[in-house]
Amino acid sequence: MNVHWHRRDLRVADNRALAEAAADGEVLPVFVLDPDVLAHAGPPRVAFLLGALESLRADYRELGGDLLVVRGDPREELPRIADERGADAIYWNRDYSGLAAERDSEVRLALDDAGVSRAAYHDALCHEPGSIRTNKGEHYSVFTYFWKKWRDREKDDPFDAPEAGEVVSPETSSLPTLAALGFDDPEAETPPAGTEAARNRLQKFCEDAIFRYAEDRDYPAREGTSRLSPHLKYGTIGIRAVWQATEEAMERAEGHPNRGGTDDDPEPEEGTEAASVRAYQSQLAWREFYAHVLSARPDVVSRNYKSYENDIGWREDAEALQAWKDGRTGYPIVDAAMRQLRREAYMHNRLRMVVASFLTKDLLLDWREGYDWFREKLVDHDTANDTGGWQWAASTGTDAQPYFRIFNPMTQGERYDPDAEFIREYVPELRDAAPKEVHGWHELAPDEREEIAPDYPAPIVDHSERREEAIAMFERARGE
C-alpha cells in the first residue's frame, strides 16, 4: 500500500502523484493540517480549504475509499502513518514556495530515517520551474520572452481519477471546525469549494465570457473573469484541465488562426474572440511566470527582487494604512476595491493593481504591508502571484512598473467604472451620487461633499503631491 500526501492538489482526477501511487498499489489518501502552514493563512483561505477537503472526501467515498485527515507536523505524522499502515512509499506533488521546499526536504529526511520510500512529482504547473530559461540558462525576469516559450511548448493532457477499489478506506476521521483550528469565521462569504464547483465555473467561463475576456477583464462591474484563482491555488482543478478547456474554446472562437504556436502561424487578430482566449491564456502564463521566479528567488517573499543603490524611504503611517484597509481613503475606486476584499475575500485583478499602486505610490507605504493584508484576507492568496503583483506595483519586482509611471486613482475609476456602478455597489455612501461627482470627489468643495455624502471621507492625501514625492523617493533610492 502507498500513501498519497495531498497538499495543493485537492482533487482525485488529473492528479499526477495520486495516479502514480495508484498504479503501484492501493492508495491511502492523507491530508495533514500543518500548524506551520496554518500560521500563514487567514480565515477565508482556511474556510475554503475545509470546504475543499469535505468535497475531496466525498469524491473518495464515491470510489469506495476515504480521506484521512490528521493535525500535526508532517515530519512526524507521515512516518507515523506509514508505520501504522505498513505503507511502502509516500507520494506527493511538488510545491515551489520556499516554505514548502524547506518542509519537503525535512519530510524526506524523516522518511529516510524511518526507512520509508518517497516520490515527488511535477503537477501544479504546465511547465516545471527551471524548464524555461534564457539563452544564458537563467530564469526569465521579463514576462514577454517567457510567454513566447511557455505558449509554444507542448502541454500534457489531463487524465482520469483512480478506479474504484484502488483507494483504501481508513477509519472515519472528522474535519475540524474553523474554531477548533483557532480561526474566527471570515467576515467574507467564501465561494463554493471542490472539484465540481471548479469544473462548473470553468465550463461557464469557457462557454461565454472567455470570448470577451480581452475587452471585459479590466472592468470590475462586468462578469469578465474566470474566478478560478482559489481553485488553482488549492488544486481543486488542475492546470492541464484548464488549459485544455481554453484550447477547446480557441477551436470554437471566431478568428481562430488554426495555429499551433509556431513562428510560421500568426497570433489571433486583435479584437476577435480568439484574441480574447489568447489573452486569458497569457494570464495562466503569468501565474507560472511568478511561480518560476519564486522557485529561483524564494527571498522575494520578504525582499525586493530589484536592487536599488539606497534603501527606499517607505513611510510608517499606521493611520493611513488602516484607512486603506478599511476602504476609507476618500478615493472611491480604491475604497470600493478594499471593501470588496472584505466582503468577498476577493478583489478584481485590475483593482489589485490600483490599490497596490495607491498604497506604495500615494501613501508611500512598504509593499509588504499590503502583501500581508492580502495574505490575511484573500481566499485565493498565492505566494508567487501576490509577491509578484505587489512588487510589480511597487517598482521593485520582475518586469515591474517603472517608478515614474504611477496609477492615477481618479482616472482609473473613470476609465474602468465610468458609470460608477461598481463603486456605488461597494461604497453605499456614494449610492446617490452622480458618476461625475464620484470620479470628481477629490475636486469637490467640503460643503459639496457634505451635501452629497456626509459619511464618506475627503481624500486623505493629494494624489498630485504624493506622485511627485514618490518619484523623488525612488530617485533617491536610485542615487540620483
pLDDT digits (tens, 9 = 90+) for 24-76: 889 999 999 999 999 999 999 999 999 999 999 999 999 999 999 999 999 99
Q: In 10 A of CB 258, how many CB atoms?
A: 9
On whether residue 149 sits in a domain, the answer given is no
pLDDT at position 265 is: 56
Range of the domain at 291: 195-296
What single-letter amino acid sits at 282?
A: S
pLDDT tens digits, 167-222: 888 877 789 999 999 999 999 999 999 999 999 999 999 999 999 999 999 999 99
**What local confidence, expressed as pLDDT, does residue 258 receive?**
63
136 within some domain: no
pLDDT score recorded for residue 294:
96
Both 461 and 386 in one domain: the answer is yes
Whether residue 271 lies inside any domain: the answer is yes
- Name the pairing type of β-strands 68-71 and 27-33: parallel
Question: Can you give the pLDDT at residue 472?
Answer: 97
Asked if residue 307 belongs to a domain, the reply is no
* 116 and 229 inside one domain: no
Residues 91 and 7 in one domain: yes
Q: Is 365 helix (H, G, I), strand (E, B) or coil?
A: strand
340 plus 452 within the same structural domain: yes
Count the domains in the chain: 3
CATH number at residue 71: 3.40.50.620
Instruction: Supply the pLDDT for residue 264.
Output: 52
* Residues 6 or more apart whose Cβ sits within 8 Å of residue 337: 220, 327, 347, 348, 351, 352, 354, 355, 426
Do the beta carbons of residue 275 and residue 214 sit within 8 Å?
yes
Residue 304 belongs to some domain of the structure: no
Higher pLDDT, 166 or 128: 128
Question: 146 versus 400: which is more confidently predicted?
Answer: 146
Give 115-158 pLDDT, tens digit per residue.
999 999 999 999 999 999 999 999 999 999 999 999 999 999 99
Q: What is the average pLDDT across 423-449?
A: 97
Q: Is residue 62 part of a domain?
A: yes
Q: Note the pLDDT of residue 202.
A: 98
Alpha carbon separation from 353 to 174, 347, 415, 471 (Å, rounded)? 40, 10, 14, 18
User: According to the model, what pLDDT value does residue 401 have?
Assistant: 83
pLDDT tens for each residue of 245-283: 999 999 999 988 765 444 455 688 888 999 999 999 999
Whether 310 maps to a domain, the answer reads no
Beta strands in 62-156 (DSSP E): 68-71, 89-93, 117-121
CA torsion sign for 346, 396, 311, 364 is negative
Confidence (pLDDT) at 437: 97
Of 108, 123, 138, which one is at a domain's C-terminal end? 123
**Per-residue model confidence (pLDDT) at position 291:** 96
Flag whether 94 is in a domain.
yes
Q: Give me the pLDDT at residue 173, please.
A: 76
- 92, 123, 154 — which closes off a domain? 123
Residue 2 has pLDDT above 90, yes or no: yes
Q: First and final CA of the chain: distance in angstroms?
A: 64
Residue pair 57/67 in contact (Cβ under 8 Å)? The answer is: yes
CATH number of the domain where residue 215 is located: 1.25.40.80
Q: What is the CATH number of the domain that holds 425?
A: 1.10.579.10
Predicted confidence (pLDDT) at residue 435 exceeds the cutoff of 70:
yes
**Mean confidence (pLDDT) of the chain:** 94
Same domain, 331 and 250: no
Counting residues of the chain whose pLDDT is more than 70, the rounded percentage is 98
Please give the pLDDT value at position 164.
Answer: 82
Do 288 and 330 belong to one domain? no
* Same domain flag for 444 and 414: yes
75, 97, 123 - which closes a domain: 123
- 284 and 324, same domain (yes or no): no
Q: Which whole number is the average pLDDT over 324-340?
A: 98
Q: Are residues 288 and 347 in the same domain?
A: no
SS3 content of the chain, % helix, strand, coil (to 5): 50, 5, 40
Q: In this structure, are 341 and 432 located in the same domain? A: yes
Average of per-residue pLDDT across 383-407: 93
3-state secondary structure 182-234: CCCCCCCCCCCCCHHHHHHHHHHHHHCHHHHHHHHCCCCCCCCCCCCHHHHHH
Task: Compute how many other C-beta atoms are within 10 angstroms of the C-beta atom of residue 276.
Answer: 27
Do 256 and 202 share a structural domain?
Answer: yes
Instruction: State which H helix or E strand residue 28 sits in.
Output: strand 27-33
Helix/strand/coil for 2: strand
**Are 363 and 404 members of one domain?**
yes
**Please, what is the angle between helix 143-152 and helix 273-296, to 10°?**
110
271, 285 contact by CB (below 8 A): no
Residue 291, C-beta contacts closer than 8 angstroms, at least 6 positions apart: 96, 124, 125, 129, 384
